[in-house]
Each structure stands twice: as structure tokens, then as C-alpha cells.
């Protein structure tokens, strides 16, 4: 685990790509190269590289920054690193833009990312280190879903007085308490949206493909319940390590529309297997999937893929989306994608609540401000909490066509 404003070095050292690899670059407003970034992610995924098990203290930049610290826990395990990387880029861009425009109460906010490897012990140590740091006012934008769930559970167990704001908390079954404030649609809302769009087409049978045993254990009940409520017949497929093989062995009796639960690399493998099928398939993926990354990783284009998103389309005209595109273009050589937009919105929502607070900023005062769960408009993205302590049911979809275009 590492206090960081950068990502740990990867195996690109061996290929003499270290200077170009963004896994080793500190955050600053200079462009990052998209291709080396994705190469680095593939290197890490292949090697199963974990972050270093040591803490490095944040740089000393004066008391004014140390007492305005916002911490973001990110999962760099092979299964979640692509989600976390995009989410973190969006958050960093937002905080950099906020600081460039005067920060919070005229002072810069120190945004610190903390890497974990997804294991319970690494998450526990990371969280405890943040709680032991009196400068840390709030946890914002924890990613991805498994770690966000762990952090929420640990905060409940410890009764810690710190706000856990806008985590990428996709698990619909996770219990909400007075410390966690999820603002993005969870899996259940995404599934309902996907199934509703299918039911309007007269579809009565769909397949559910789970990339890992963990995906099956975590999300199968959600899918079964929603499918039953919508009177859809659900065929279940669980991968046993080889997603490509699973795609190849589907039969003519398999549903033509498949709901995929898993990450981008797994979906790429699955579509490569589907390429061998004679029957046309359509795949509906949930919000962890990045369509642009799919294209870069060599996904088969014979199968149309529809991605369900918990944020607006990245080409939308909403003020927050325009600000995201402009900031991203200024700071990074990265295409706009839904996951980094989610990170941007998470940071902006956190800032909007902090900005409107009266009196001194402390963990308790910040937590109290978020516990009001007031409705808020974040540049056109509406945050309104329900009785279960969750916000958005906002879901959109975009499609990767056979000719490689992303349309919404």
C-alpha cells in the first residue's frame, strides 16, 4: 500500500518504456500517452503485480494543504486496476481544476490516492492509516466496487466518524449507513435499465454470463430477482477461467442477447470466443466495462456490445460533462470515457458539499454536512438520496458497433 500521487512502476521497465509509462508518472497537468498506459495495464494484468507494501508519506507542502486533505482509496489488483485507473484520472482532473480556480476557501485541496491490492488486510491497513491522519477530512471516490464495499463495511464496524463519499459502490446488496454516500446507480438499477430496454424489443429470454466465481456470488441474486420481476427467462453461464472457450461453446439454443457481468479484459476474451459462433449475439455489459479499452485490447467486432453506464454520455451537453471534457483535454492525452467521468463527478460532488459548509472544516462537521443528504445539482447531474441512503438511478447506454464506433 502506498500513499501516492502516482502509480507504482510496472514491467515496462524491462522494455525501456519507463519514461513513457504513466504508471510511474506523478500527476501534473501534462499529457499522458494513452497507448503506453494501456500497455502498462496489460503488463500488470499478465504479471499480477501488486503494489509495494510500504507507506511513503505525502510531501510537505505546508499546513495550509495538510489540513485540507481528501483521500481516495483505489484498487490496483489485476481485476480492478483498469476501472480504478480511469476513475482516478477523472478525480485528479477535477481536483486539479478546482485548485486552479482557487481551491476551497482560497486554499488548495490536497488530493491523495492510496493504493491497495484488494485484499482485506491491505484495505484495513490503508483505511486505518487514513483514520490516523488528522489532516484527512473525507474519503472520496473509492474504486472499484469490491474495495468500496470493504471500506463501507469497515467504517460500519469501527463506527468511524468520517464521510465515505461517492464511492464506486456497485453492489446493490451492500448495506448503507450514516457514513457512506453512494451517488451512482448500483448494479440492480443498471440491470433493470438493461432488461427494460430488452423487454421493449419483445425479448423474453436472456443469458447471464459471469466472468468469475466472485461475480456470480456477488451479483447472481440481483439478476435472478430482476429477471423474475420482469418475467424474463434467464439462462446462466459461469466461466471457468477461459472466457474465450465459453464464448465458443455456446449452442444454437443459447439466448441471442447476453448480459455480461465482469471487467473489460474478460469481456474482450469472451467476444473473441463469440467470433467463432455462426449465430449473431448481442452483449449487454454493466458499468465497469470501457468500450474504448475494448477496442484497444482487440475485442472481436463481429459482436455488437452495449455498455450500461451510471453517468451521462461523455458527449452530452450537460455543464459537468462539458467541464470534464475540457479539463481532461487540458491535462491528459486520454479519450473521454464513462469511468473517468464518474471520477470527475465524484470529486465535484464532494467539493460542492464542502464549499457550501459554514464554520470550521473538521471530520465531524464534514460528516454532518453529508448526512443531511440534501438534493444537489452537480452541473446537470442530479443527486437525490432515497430512503435506503442511495442516490442515482441514472443510467444510460452506449454501443460499440461492428465497425468500431461508440454511439449513444
Tell me, letter by letter, the H, E, C secondary structure of 318-349: CHHHHHHHHHHHHHCCCCCCHHHHHHHHHHHH
Most confident by average pLDDT, 64-73, 76-85, 108-117, 270-279? 108-117
Instruction: Mark whether 12 and 143 lie in a shared domain.
Output: yes
Q: What is the rounded CA–CA span in Å between residue 150 and residue 212? A: 19
236: three-class secondary structure by DSSP: strand
Q: What is the rounded CA–CA span in Å between residue 313 and residue 49? A: 33
Instruction: Mark whether 223 and 269 lie in a shared domain.
Output: yes
Instruction: Mark whether 156 and 211 lie in a shared domain.
Output: no
- Mean predicted confidence (pLDDT) in 85-90: 96
Residue 279 to residues 185, 255, 269, Cα–Cα distance (Å)? 33, 10, 18
Instruction: Mark whether 200 and 288 lie in a shared domain.
Output: yes
Q: Residue 272: which domain range? A: 187-309
Instruction: Mark whether 11 and 102 lie in a shared domain.
Output: yes
How would residue 200 be classed by pLDDT, with cut points 50, 70 and 90?
Answer: low
What per-residue confidence (pLDDT) applies to 48? 33
Greatest Cα pair distance, the chain, in angstroms, is: 66
The number of residues making up the chain comes to 408
Question: Is residue 399 in some structural domain?
Answer: no
User: Which of 283, 309, 335 is the last residue before a domain boundary?
Assistant: 309
Q: What is the pLDDT of residues 248-260, one digit of tens each?
A: 888 888 888 899 9
pLDDT at residue 175 tops 90:
no
pLDDT at residue 202 tops 80:
no
User: Which of 290, 309, 328 is the last residue before a domain boundary?
Assistant: 309
What per-residue confidence (pLDDT) applies to 369? 96
How would residue 21 be classed by pLDDT, with cut points 50, 70 and 90?
Answer: very low
Q: Which three cell numbers stand for residue 147?
A: 474495495
Segment (H or E) for 366 = helix 363-371
Cα–Cα nearest to 127, from 107, 152, 110, 144: 152
Instruction: Mark whether 181 and 191 lie in a shared domain.
Output: no
Question: Is residue 199 in some structural domain?
Answer: yes
**Domain tally for the chain?**
2
How would residue 403 be classed by pLDDT, with cut points 50, 70 and 90?
Answer: low
What per-residue confidence (pLDDT) applies to 3? 43
* Contact (Cβ atoms closer than 8 angstroms) between residue 166 and residue 346: yes
What per-residue confidence (pLDDT) applies to 50? 33
Of residues 160 and 111, more confidence is placed in: 111
Q: What is the pLDDT of residues 138-157, one digit of tens each?
A: 999 999 999 999 999 999 88
**CATH code for the domain of 265:** 3.40.50.2300
Most confident by average pLDDT, 126-135, 171-180, 258-267, 385-394? 126-135
Question: Is residue 396 in some structural domain?
Answer: no
Q: What is the pLDDT of residues 322-358, one digit of tens each?
A: 999 999 999 998 889 999 999 999 999 999 999 999 9
What per-residue confidence (pLDDT) applies to 67? 59
Strand 305-309, strand 163-165: pairing: unpaired
Q: What is the pTM of this model?
A: 0.81
How would residue 319 be classed by pLDDT, with cut points 50, 70 and 90?
Answer: very high
Supply the angle between the helices 213-229 and 187-199 in degrees, to the nearest 10: 50
Start-to-end CA distance of the chain, whole Å, equals 38
pLDDT at residue 5 tops 50:
no
Q: What is the pLDDT of residues 105-116, one digit of tens each?
A: 999 999 999 999
Of residues 172 and 145, more confidence is placed in: 145
What per-residue confidence (pLDDT) applies to 342? 96
Cα–Cα nearest to 333, from 118, 29, 3, 77: 29
What per-residue confidence (pLDDT) applies to 298? 73
Instruction: Mark whether 296 and 379 lie in a shared domain.
Output: no
Instruction: Mark whether 22 and 125 lie in a shared domain.
Output: yes
User: Which of 284, 309, 334 is the last residue before a domain boundary?
Assistant: 309
Question: Is residue 63 in some structural domain?
Answer: yes
Instruction: Mark whether 25 and 101 lie in a shared domain.
Output: yes
pLDDT at residue 316 tops 70:
yes
Question: Is residue 390 in some structural domain?
Answer: no
Instruction: Mark whether 46 and 157 lie in a shared domain.
Output: yes
Question: Is residue 372 in some structural domain?
Answer: yes
Instruction: Mark whether 14 and 156 lie in a shared domain.
Output: yes
Instruction: Mark whether 161 and 175 lie in a shared domain.
Output: yes
How would residue 32 be classed by pLDDT, with cut points 50, 70 and 90?
Answer: very low
Mention every residue, 6+ apart, whose C-beta is less than 8 A from residue 358: none
Of residues 2 and 302, more confidence is placed in: 302
What per-residue confidence (pLDDT) applies to 380? 95
Amino acid at each position: 500500500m502506498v500513499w501516492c500521487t502516482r502509480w507504482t512502476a510496472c514491467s515496462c521497465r524491462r522494455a525501456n518504456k519507463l519514461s513513457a509509462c504513466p504508471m510511474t508518472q506523478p500527476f501534473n497537468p501534462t499529457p499522458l500517452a494513452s497507448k503506453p498506459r494501456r500497455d502498462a495495464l496489460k503488463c500488470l494484468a499478465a504479471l499480477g503485480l501488486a503494489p509495494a507494501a510500504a507507506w511513503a508519506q505525502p510531501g510537505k507542502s505546508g499546513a495550509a494543504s495538510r489540513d485540507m486533505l481528501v483521500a481516495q482509496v483505489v484498487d490496483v489488483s489485476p481485476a480492478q486496476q483498469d476501472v480504478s485507473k480511469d476513475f482516478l484520472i477523472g478525480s485528479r482532473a477535477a481536483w486539479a481544476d478546482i485548485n486552479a480556480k482557487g481551491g476551497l476557501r482560497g486554499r488548495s485541496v490536497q488530493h491523495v490516492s492510496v493504493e491497495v491490492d484488494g485484499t482485506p488486510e491491505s484495505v484495513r491497513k490503508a483505511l486505518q492509516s487514513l483514520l490516523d491522519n488528522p489532516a484527512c477530512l473525507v474519503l472520496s471516490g473509492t474504486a472499484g466496487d469490491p474495495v468500496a464495499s470493504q471500506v463501507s463495511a469497515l467504517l460500519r464496524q469501527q463506527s468511524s466518524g468520517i464521510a465515505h463519499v461517492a464511492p464506486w459502490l456497485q453492489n446493490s446488496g451492500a448495506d448503507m449507513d450514516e457514513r457512506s454516500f453512494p451517488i451512482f446507480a448500483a448494479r440492480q438499477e443498471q440491470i433493470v435499465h438493461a432488461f427494460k430496454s430488452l423487454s421493449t424489443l419483445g425479448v423474453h429470454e436472456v443469458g447471464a454470463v459471469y466472468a468469475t466465481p466472485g461475480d456470480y456470488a456477488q451479483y447472481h441474486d440481483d439478476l435472478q430477482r430482476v429477471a423474475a420481476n420482469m418475467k424474463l427467462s434467464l439462462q446462466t453461464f459461469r466461466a471457468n477461467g477461459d472466457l474465450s472457450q465459453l464464448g465458443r461453446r455456446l449452442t444454437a439454443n443459447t439466448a441471442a442477447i447476453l448480459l455480461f457481468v465482469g471487467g473489460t479484459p474478460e469481456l474482450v476474451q469472451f467476444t473473441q470466443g463469440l467470433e467463432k459462433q455462426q449465430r449473431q449475439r448481442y452483449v449487454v455489459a454493466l458499468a465497469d466495462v470501457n468500450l474504448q479499452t475494448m477496442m484497444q485490447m482487440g475485442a472481436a467486432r463481429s459482436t455488437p456490445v452495449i455498455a450500461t453506464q451510471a453517468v451521462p454520455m461523455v458527449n452530452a451537453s450537460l455543464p459537468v460533462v462539458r467541464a470534464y471534457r475540457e479539463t481532461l483535454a487540458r491535462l491528459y492525452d486520454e479519450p473521454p470515457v464513462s469511468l473517468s467521468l464518474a471520477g470527475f463527478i465524484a470529486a465535484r460532488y464532494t467539493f460542492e458539499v464542502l464549499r457550501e459548509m459554514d464554520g470550521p472544516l473538521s471530520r465531524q462537521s464534514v460528516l454532518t454536512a453529508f448526512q443531511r443528504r440534501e438534493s444537489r445539482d452537480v452541473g446537470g447531474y442530479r443527486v437525490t438520496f432515497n430512503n435506503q441512503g442511495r442516490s442515482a438511478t441514472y443510467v444510460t447506454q452506449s454501443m460499440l458497433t461492428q465497425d468500431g464506433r461508440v454511439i449513444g
